């Protein structure tokens, strides 16, 4: 079969415009009769709020200040609808959106930001996910802070550890990570020639954006149009709604094009981060280095909102055993609400954090057994027809053995022959 694309050097259709600077990004868009928007955000991580916009509304050039009262359906979220479009009674993190200001210029919107009065009744916050799991901890939302729990149970874990010659037991932690894409969020919304609310934005999920905008405004999806402009980096950070609903609401009500451009500082507090994780691992092996058992607890801090937490913590639970056959496995993986910045999609979806744990466990076991780190991996790696901890039989695409051999050859690595202590 002749292929037109696969295996050939094809020039990207957008390459020339990007390298010459001609590509149009949302920040570059200008429309006649366009106005500008700015978001008032919470300065506290956990508080009841009362907002007074009366003074800000008097500023010359301010067209309208939107609050929760203006939102037909004041909720959104990619998996769980636990975000408010504009917070009504309570903020749950620094940066929560409280009001959306629309004015003739960006400068007048900035003035209005200073004139809006927000009375905060500060609440006790919870910032450690382990503490947040306690029933007595402050509740970020109304129910338990444990918003997701994924389990794996395979074999007999007690028997596995009983038969282990060496055991490694440690706790590993990874931190929150910012996407730091080059292009901060920007977008323009307007009513198109067919009467549809149109949002031009750099996004990773235009179909989800349309669904969420339509839901928040109580419209049919065919009344909403999302145009995906050039994307100046994303890495998962553009999978959640940022200002799309704010823009669409303003354009819908005002019948004028509305533009938003985030500063780098606002971008930093507006979008999701990579999940920080606490990983408690106990791994056992026999005298020859064969893995016999692994018990793991993963606690993922999803911050104030769920975002993609169930997907991320499920994948973390699946991958915590690494690319190794282990006959006896117990995994408990939790996503936990805190008053920290919310966490969501970032490249790897939970599979990125856990190698820090399972690979250090392998090195520790190798050292205890006086086996070199490559040999202990070759003993345990998945091969064709291996069975994972979730029961999946690997029938194809299992290149680990060839990969490790190639790396070892390039390193001129020679395995030790003395075996275990």
pLDDT one-digit tens code per residue, 161-209: 999 999 999 999 999 999 999 999 999 999 999 999 999 999 999 999 9
Same domain, 106 and 46: yes
According to DSSP, the β-strands at 224-228 and 97-103 are: unpaired
321 and 398 in a single domain? The answer is yes
Same domain, 315 and 406: yes
Question: Which domain CATH number covers 67?
Answer: 3.90.1170.50
DSSP state of 381: B
- Residue 257 located in a structural domain: yes
Same structural domain, 193 and 55: yes
Identify whether residues 336 and 368 lie together within a single domain: yes
Q: Does residue 43 carry a pLDDT above 80?
A: yes
The whole-number pLDDT of residue 2 equals 81
Residue 387 lies in a domain: yes
* Contacts (Cβ under 8 Å, ≥6 apart) of 210: 221, 224, 225, 226
Same domain, 144 and 109: no
Q: What's the pLDDT tens digit per position in 111-140?
A: 999 999 999 999 999 999 999 999 999 999
Residue 373 located in a structural domain: yes
Give Cα separations from 291 to 81, 114, 168, 378 (angstroms): 42, 61, 11, 11
Residues 149 and 230 in one domain: no
Q: Residue 297 sits in which domain range? A: 129-177+273-410
If asked whether residues 304 and 172 sit together in one domain, one would say yes
Q: What is the DSSP letter of 79?
A: S
Domain boundary among 210, 226, 261: 261
Q: What are phi and psi of 92, to 5 degrees?
A: -125, 0
Same domain, 49 and 134: no
The verdict on 93 and 40 lying in the same domain is yes
CA 72, 109, 118, 266 dihedral sign is positive
pLDDT for position 416:
61
Average pLDDT, the chain: 96
Q: Is residue 326 part of a domain?
A: yes
Structural domain ending residue among the three candidates 261, 284, 303: 261
Please state, in angstroms and rounded to a whole number, the distance separating the CA atoms of residues 350 and 88.
Answer: 32
**421 within domain boundaries:** no
Beta carbons within 8 Å of 3's beta carbon, 6+ residues apart = none
- Phi/psi region, residue 289 (left: phi>0; alpha: psi -120 to 50; beta: rest), is left
Q: What is the pTM of this model?
A: 0.93
Query: Does residue 316 belong to any structural domain of this protein?
Result: yes
To 5 degrees, how large is the angle CA 290–CA 293–CA 296?
130
Q: How far apart are CA 294 and CA 276, in angstroms?
A: 22
pLDDT in tens, 14-34: 899 999 999 999 999 999 999
Question: For 327-348, how does the pLDDT look when each residue is reduced to its tens digit (9 = 90+)?
Answer: 999 999 999 999 999 999 999 9
Domain match, 280 and 257 both: no
Can you tell me the distance from the alpha carbon of 398 to that of 403, in angstroms, rounded to the nearest whole number? Answer: 10
Q: Which of 261, 291, 324 is the last residue of a domain?
A: 261
**What's the structural domain count of the chain?**
2
Q: How far apart are CA 94 and CA 114, in angstroms?
A: 17
Inside any domain, residue 144:
yes
Same domain? For 343 and 305 the reply is yes
Tell me which residue of 166, 214, 71 sits closest to 365, measured CA to CA: 166
Residue 9 covered by a domain: no
CATH of the domain at 364: 3.30.365.10
pLDDT at position 324 is: 98
């Amino acid at each position: 079969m002749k292929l037109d694309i696969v295996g050939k050097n094809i020039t990207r259709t957008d390459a020339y415009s990007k390298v010459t600077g001609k590509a149009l990004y949302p920040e570059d868009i200008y429309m006649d009769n366009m106005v500008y928007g700015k978001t008032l955000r919470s300065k506290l991580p956990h508080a009841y709020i009362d907002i007074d916009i009366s003074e800000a509304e008097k500023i010359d050039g301010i067209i309208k200040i939107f609050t929760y009262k203006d939102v037909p359906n004041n909720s959104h979220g990619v998996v769980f609808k636990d975000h408010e479009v504009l917070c009504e009674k309570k903020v749950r993190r620094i940066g929560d959106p409280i009001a959306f200001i629309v004015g003739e210029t960006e400068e007048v919107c900035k003035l209005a930001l200073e004139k809006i009065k927000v009375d905060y009744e500060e609440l006790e916050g919870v910032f450690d996910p382990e503490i947040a799991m306690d029933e007595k901890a402050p509740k970020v939302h109304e129910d338990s802070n444990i918003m997701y729990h994924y389990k794996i149970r395979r074999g007999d874990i007690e028997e596995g550890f009983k038969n282990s010659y060496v055991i490694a037991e440690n706790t590993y932690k990874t931190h929150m990570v910012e996407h730091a894409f080059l292009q901060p969020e920007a977008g323009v919304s307007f009513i198109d020639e067919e009467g549809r609310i149109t949002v031009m934005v750099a996004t990773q999920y235009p179909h989800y954006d349309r669904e969420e905008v339509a839901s928040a405004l109580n419209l049919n999806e065919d009344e909403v149009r999302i145009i995906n402009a050039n994307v100046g980096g994303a890495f998962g950070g553009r999978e959640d709604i940022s200002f799309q609903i704010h823009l669409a609401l303003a354009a819908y009500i005002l019948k004028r094009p509305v533009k938003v451009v985030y500063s780098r500082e606002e971008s930093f507090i507006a979008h999701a981060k990579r999940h920080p994780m606490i990983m408690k691992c106990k791994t056992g092996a026999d005298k020859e280095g064969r893995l016999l058992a692994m018990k793991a607890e993963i606690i993922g801090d999803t911050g104030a909102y769920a975002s993609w937490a169930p997907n991320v913590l499920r994948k973390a639970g699946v991958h915590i055993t690494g690319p190794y056959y282990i006959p006896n496995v117990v995994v408990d993986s939790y996503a936990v609400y805190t008053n920290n910045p919310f966490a969501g999609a970032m490249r790897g979806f939970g599979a990125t954090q856990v190698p820090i744990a399972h690979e250090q466990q392998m090195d520790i076991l190798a050292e205890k057994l006086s086996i070199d780190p490559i040999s202990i991996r070759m003993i345990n790696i998945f091969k064709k027809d291996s069975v994972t901890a979730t029961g999946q039989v690997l029938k194809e695409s299992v290149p680990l053995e060839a990969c490790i051999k190639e790396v070892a050859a390039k390193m001129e690595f020679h395995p030790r022959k003395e075996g275990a202590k």
